[in-house]
Amino acid sequence: MESEDKPNRYLIESQKGEKFYRSVLDRMHEAVFILNKNFLIIDANDAASRTTGLGRKELIGKHCYQVSHGHNRPCREVGEPCVLPEVFDTGMPATVLHKHTRVDGSVCWVDVLYSPFKGPDGRVLYVIEAMRDVTELLSAHERLKSALKGIIQSISALVEIRDPYTAGHSQRVVQLADAVAKEMGLSEEQIEGIRVAGIIHDIGKITVPAEILSKPGRLSEIEFSIIKTHPQAGYAVIKGLEFPWPVAQTVLQHHEKLDGSGYPTGLSGDKILLEARILAVADVVESISSHRPYRPALGIDKALEEISKNKGILLYDARVVDACVRLFKEKGFKFE
């Protein structure tokens, strides 16, 4: 009895198999190019012709960078990233997102998968490049991000309406937290999450009576205990929202301290998210340096003194404090 894979092998190796291969390739929605080690296109499908505006016969023999990028030199020679050499060398697939120049000169964003095709000895003979236009998808994603930012800004404004004495506090915290995160070399993705958390870090204050928020004198122990509920309240408000960053946990932890003396849960050390440790420092510096109902502004020097004497194993992350101090002392950072 013949094994089940024999008919398939026969199809691929015969003239009928060639027609089957061509039919499958041309039914694919993605633009597909088959490249040799010289980065020359040795085959392409109908979608590739539609994407580039060039017929299959025109595509065959062209370098992939001529078709994808519109120039006649290898990508790395013109300062553009290229993963093709690594795919040929390692035999591992790779994906990239890059700008593609259409035949009419217009530019779009494409998501590209490079898949190695190996011979019997395991060496990569060809690379199959599958290209998908994601311009509209990215555009929709950007619109959603813009809408999300607008909603977050509105929430922040709502909090500040109830607490007029700290108007602008969240914006200034975001300014400093953003600068500190960049000074520490964090990724743009992580910094974006810090910005979002910073804008709404005090959202829980909507549950605190306005007369406590705006009280001109020192708070009583009971009043302060009510204030201390705002991180937990904020977490409860936003925990159901699916952010691509740990926003809810950052909001919950932004008053925690390294030695465990913070609130609401008394976390310590590395149990506190780095994002929350950055917001904690930015929050303290902004609060001390600004006017409050119960005291005048104490100034930046006093704020930097506070975080510096309590950094390390005490209250504040030493790396965050050092970055913050550098910004003010060496790089001229100022709140806008």
Q: Which residues are catalytic?
A: 205
Cβ atoms of residues 315 and 258 within 8 Å: yes
The sheet carrying 94-101 orders its strands as: 41-44, 31-35, 124-133, 107-118, 94-101
Tally the residues of the chain.
Answer: 336
d(CA 246, CA 244): 7
d(CA 264, CA 166): 21
Cβ atoms of residues 222 and 228 within 8 Å: no
Cβ atoms of residues 135 and 104 within 8 Å: no
CB atoms within 10 A of CB 43: 18
Hey, which bits of the chain come out as E strands? 31-35, 41-44, 94-101, 107-118, 124-133
- DSSP assigned state of 275: H
Instruction: Tell me the sheet residues that pair with 79.
Output: none
Q: Is 312 left (phi over 0), alpha (psi -120 to 50) or beta?
A: left
Cβ atoms of residues 74 and 81 within 8 Å: no
Give the closest residue to 42 by CA, choosing from 64, 20, 75.
64
CB atoms within 10 A of CB 14: 11
